[in-house]
């Protein structure tokens, strides 16, 4: 199983964002958290900013939309050229139609579930998605503590993905660090979003390598 580490630029220096994105060139993607101060109580990037990040990033963009009315807004991020666009199940009225639209435009389509959202209704829809994101914190702010009680949900998703035989990435986001990534990998995650664990390190590149290695030791 391939292990992917995608640093969240929510923990980067917004004034020196281009430089901070270049510092993570050995990562597997840039995780871009788009928040609208409505779906979650925080406000970050919009399409204009994401377009500029797309233009300067040396690695693919993994855009995570924590916004209301995803059906309306998500396709615009795919049109910017993002490698992957993930929207929240709780914010989409027709997740399957939206995923098909994102794929049609040329992005990978991801669906995310908050900690309190059951995953079972979405497991039968797996062929429609390229990525399933299980939040391991409540979405909205970086630096939160990892929710270990989400691991059964990750394990259930892994079992469904393996049973389906399709290539769906299983991503976790929230509180991922050297002391938690092994648990998430053991449960079946293969794609890991880390913010402060990367950007808070003295050596950013080494932090990414260390996280990848720690996850690899626990993958099945």
Active site residues: 33, 173
For residue 98, the 8-state DSSP code is H
Radius of gyration of the chain (CA): 16
- What angle separates helix 95-105 from helix 70-79, to the nearest 10 degrees? 10
CB atoms within 10 A of CB 127: 12
Q: What are the φ/ψ torsions at residue 160 (nearest 5 degrees)?
A: -70, -40
Closest CA to 194 of 148, 142, 122, 156: 142
Question: Reduced to 3 states, what is the DSSP secondary structure of residue 89?
Answer: helix
Instruction: Give whole-number Cα distances, 89 to 42, 114, 120, 196, in Å.
Output: 19, 8, 12, 26
28 closest CA partner among 182, 199, 215, 193: 193
Distance (Å, rounded) from C-alpha 50 to C-alpha 81? 10
Spatial distance between the Cα atoms of 105 and 43, rounded to a whole number of angstroms = 26
């Amino acid at each position: 199983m391939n292990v992917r580490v995608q640093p969240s630029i929510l923990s980067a220096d917004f004034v020196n964002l281009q430089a901070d994105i270049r510092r993570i060139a050995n990562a597997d993607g840039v995780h871009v958290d788009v928040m609208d101060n409505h779906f979650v109580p925080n406000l970050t990037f919009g399409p204009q900013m994401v377009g500029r990040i797309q233009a300067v990033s040396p690695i693919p963009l993994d855009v995570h939309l924590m916004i209301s009315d995803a059906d309306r807004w998500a396709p615009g991020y795919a049109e910017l050229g993002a490698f992957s666009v993930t929207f929240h199940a709780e914010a989409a009225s027709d997740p399957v139609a939206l995923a098909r639209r994102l794929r049609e435009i040329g992005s990978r389509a991801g669906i995310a579930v908050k900690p309190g959202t059951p995953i079972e209704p979405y497991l039968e829809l797996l062929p429609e998605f390229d990525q399933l994101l299980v939040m391991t914190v409540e979405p909205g702010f970086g630096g939160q503590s990892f929710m270990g009680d989400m691991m059964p949900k990750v394990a259930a998703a892994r079992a469904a993905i393996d049973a389906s035989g399709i290539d769906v990435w299983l991503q976790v986001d929230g509180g991922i660090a050297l002391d938690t990534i092994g648990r998430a990998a053991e449960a079946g995650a293969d794609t890991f979003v880390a913010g402060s664990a990367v950007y808070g390190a003295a050596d950013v590149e080494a932090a990414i390598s260390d996280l990848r290695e720690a996850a690899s030791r626990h993958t099945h």
